[in-house]
Chains A and B, each alone.
Chain A
Amino acid sequence: MTTVLKVEGLKKSYGTKEALRGIDFEVQAGEIFALIGPNGAGKTTTLRIVSTLLSPSGGKVTLLGYDLKKEPERIRENISYLPEEAGAYRNLKGTDYLKFMANFYADTQEKTEEMVKRARDIAELGGALGDKVGTYSKGMVRKLLLARALMTKPKMAILDEPTSGLDVINSLEIREIIKKFAKEGISVLLSSHNMLEIEFLSDRVALIDKGVILDAGTSGGLKDKYQAPNLEVVFRSAVR
């Protein structure tokens, strides 16, 4: 297995508040790695650091061997980040938005078209892609953004609460898409409150609370270890 992401002793402080107090984990190629924990545990901060939005206060992050502090540009070329409350440009049509984003990753017009076609297939929004994003429902925007994140076939997709605020049908569709792309070799680092979602999606899980990783492993392994019927009980036991 090839290690795509390596996080070592990662720390982050906002003034006097410590959001991350030294966390370590690795993500392998094609693996879906999930961070689960309550609000304020440090999930989003970790994802934002890996996606080069925030700079770490300590520790080291390497993606495909590129050091986050020294080569953030190279890291950006190989990742796609989907923030929890992301939006798209409301005045642009769906297709124009996808083209605009694809142009940052594609060298040629053909590659841009190829990425947009892939995004169309992922989003399955049909004729709505010809409408302005401002007219989309929340679920449609989320599908568009997920398609945007995956159309470039990044080495790593960083997804913060990918199904947050969506109905059951949209959530299921999005989970299927993520699973499918991971099988094609894309590594996924995701965070979620939804333990069921994590059990369904992830290959490995890290339990994070108050800026510290309490435990990590496969869903099955963790359930066995804590003799718990599901991840919610695992988490409660780990916190105690």
Chain B
Amino acid sequence: MKKFTNLLVKEIRELVNKQLIVSLVMTMTIFYFVGNLAKTEMKKAAATQKISVMDLDESDVSRGLTAGLKTANFEIESIPGKNPEAAVQAAKQGETYLLLVIPAGFGESIVRLEPREISTYTFLRSFSVGGIRKSEILRAVISATNNYLSNDILKKKVPDVPPDILKSPIKTKDFVIVKDRMAEGSASAISGFVWSQSFIIPIILFMIIMYSSQMVISAVAMEKQNKTLETLLTVPIPRTSIVTTKMLAAGIVGLLSAAIYMIGMKSFMGGMTGGIGSSTIVSGVIKQLGLTLAGRGYVLLGISLFFAILCGLAMAMILGVLAEDFRSAQTLILPLMLMILIPYLLSFFADVQTLPLPVKILILAIPFSHPFLATPNIMLGHYSAVLYGILYMAVVFFVLVFIAARIFSTDRVLTMKLRWGKKKVVL
């Protein structure tokens, strides 16, 4: 055990080098600052906004509209004069992002049911999310005013019928069913909410598997490049311990690095969303449908991720042996990256169940697909699919470890290498 610990500590010390620490600190700092900056911008967008208004009508209806804007946290800057072109020029000079021009006779035109157009101008001074949100708020205010006015008109014209019935004679009540549970709600709203809550999971999976695998490949390649492997292979320690410590060290450091990156990422994403978007109604429906990852779900996802990491490490170990030096190791990581990237991208855009059979088999044959598929499967209660995935990854892992251990206990650890010039594996 002492020898094993000795080797493990060395492997961890080799991996936790200045480059890794600097890269982690830099990324965390960037995430933190960009996240905070975004949060400030989003808060600014949600705070009181200036809007220039040229009201050429000055009727009750136009005043109602501007009152609505004030309620929506807009600070009205009235532009005097009668010329809309001049209003645009005046607004251009100022700091306002929005201009609203209400034409003369607007109120009367509404009453006559011959509505005149009001003009909205959005000054795109940047392409930031905050800037776009300002015009969205304005549009929402106009839409609310429209709704109010149309209700008012309908009440006057058809006093006996509620305006709601006139505007939407067909009423719908949406239900969503997940296995044996049913709840009232919109499928698209629920899907959107689940996605917004769980989209981070594939990113975490991708980063952890990538990190750990890259570390193992590099560790083996560096042993070869620095000519330390031969010495290590002649010390009195089982070859399986050499394989295991390299994988374990990379697993530990990979997990820690990914955790640190994810903390930074969370801070960044928190800033980007500005803490908006979580609807208590939708989240209630989510709970009712059991579309959460509590307890058993997290355990299963954790086990699935654990075995995916192990598979990645074992594959990386074999690929590392093929590398002649650190540079060739960077090339050899490519097939592994592709195997992780395919299910990662698919998890965002496609449903594996609906894919053609050969593609489905191919996807399921990639061990890294299973943790990506685990989240939706757990949420939808398809636990057996998750368990089969774990079992499959366990089998793949043991086969790979057997191969890696065989390679390390024979000449091949020194003689096997991929020669790009000759494009063949020399055994």
Contacts and interface: CB of A to CB of B under 8 A. Distances in A.
Contacts of B233: 52-53
A172 interface: no
Given A89-B14, A103-B3, A55 B227 contact: no
B10 A51 contact: no
A88 B10 contact: no
Interface in B188-242: 226-228, 230-231, 233-238
A104 B231 contact: no
A54 interface: yes
Interface string B1-25: 0110010001001100100000000
A131 to B, nearest CB: 15
Interface string A76-115: 1101111101111111100000001101110100000000
Q: Shortest 5 CB-CB distances between A and B: which pairs?
A: A87-B227, A103-B6, A81-B234, A76-B236, A87-B226
* Contact size range, B: 20 to 34
Interface of A: 14, 48, 51-55, 73, 76-77, 79-83, 85-92, 100-101, 103-105, 107, 145, 148
B228 A81 contact: no
Contacts of A53: 230, 233-234, 411, 414
Nearest to B9: A100
Contacts of B3: 103-104
Contacts of A90: 226
Contact of B14 (A14, A79, A83, A91): A91
A148 B231 CA distance: 10
B279 interface: no
B410 interface: yes
B330 interface: no
B10 A100 contact: yes
B273 interface: no
Most buried by A among B3, B233, B410, B415: B233
Given A53-B414, A73-B236, A91 B228 contact: no
Nearest to B234: A81
B280 to A, nearest CB: 52
Given A54-B411, A86-B228, A100-B6, A91 B234 contact: no
Most buried by B among A52, A53, A88: A53
A104 B235 contact: yes
B6 A81 contact: no
Contacts of B237: 104
B230 A81 contact: yes
A156 B205 CA distance: 49
Contacts of A88: 226, 228
A79 to B, nearest CB: 7
A107 B226 CA distance: 28
A53 B14 CA distance: 23
